[in-house]
Amino acid sequence: MQKTVLITGSSSGIGLCAAKTLKQKGYRVLAACRKEDDLNHMETLGFEPIFLDLDDAESIEKAILEVIRLTNGRLYGLFNNGGFGVYGPLNAISRQQMEKQFSTNFFGLHQLTMGLLPAMLPHGEGRIIQTSS
């Protein structure tokens, strides 16, 4: 049976490289992105695009349901790669910037992971990989 992996932040950088590599190795790759152009581009590359905005709880819930539907409740891997960094000295970073970063990089990731565990745990295999900005 072909194993399915969901990759967040799959439209560029590490996420895109991982998506291409896993596809070459025979995995089915669900490519999560938040921009329409990126979703279309990932589809032209042969991936199955999933709309996902990690800063939007409703978007995360919809993505969870879509992944469970597409995988018939059996997801092998989750690569939590989506997110962003706020760079600069602490005194130049606003509370609002930090809250948005934590909302996306921590709480969004947590919600997605917890929502997908029921599609992973019962099968006794699988991987969750986290990266962070």
Q: What is the mean pLDDT of residues 25-35?
A: 98
**Contact in structure between 54 and 108 (CB atoms under 8 Å):** yes
Q: In whole numbers, what is the pLDDT of the chain averaged over residues?
A: 96
Estimate to the nearest angstrom the gap between the alpha carbon of 91 and the chain centroid.
31
Share above pLDDT 90 across residues of the chain, in percent, rounded to a whole number: 98
**Confidence category of residue 1, pLDDT binned at 50, 70, 90:** confident
pLDDT given at position 73: 97
What span, in angstroms and rounded, lies between the C-alpha atoms of 47 and 44?
Answer: 7
Encode pLDDT of 77-98 as tens digits: 999 999 999 999 999 999 999 9
What span, in angstroms and rounded, lies between the C-alpha atoms of 81 and 97?
Answer: 19
Share above pLDDT 70 across residues of the chain, in percent, rounded to a whole number: 99
* Global pTM value: 0.94
pLDDT given at position 5: 99
Instruction: Please give the structure tokens belonging to residue 68.
Output: 């469970």
| Sheet strands side by side (includes 28-33) | 48-51, 28-33, 4-8, 77-80, 127-130
Class of domain 4-130 (CATH, top level): alpha beta
Closest CA relative to residue 48, chosen from 58, 124, 69, 130: 69
pLDDT given at position 81: 97
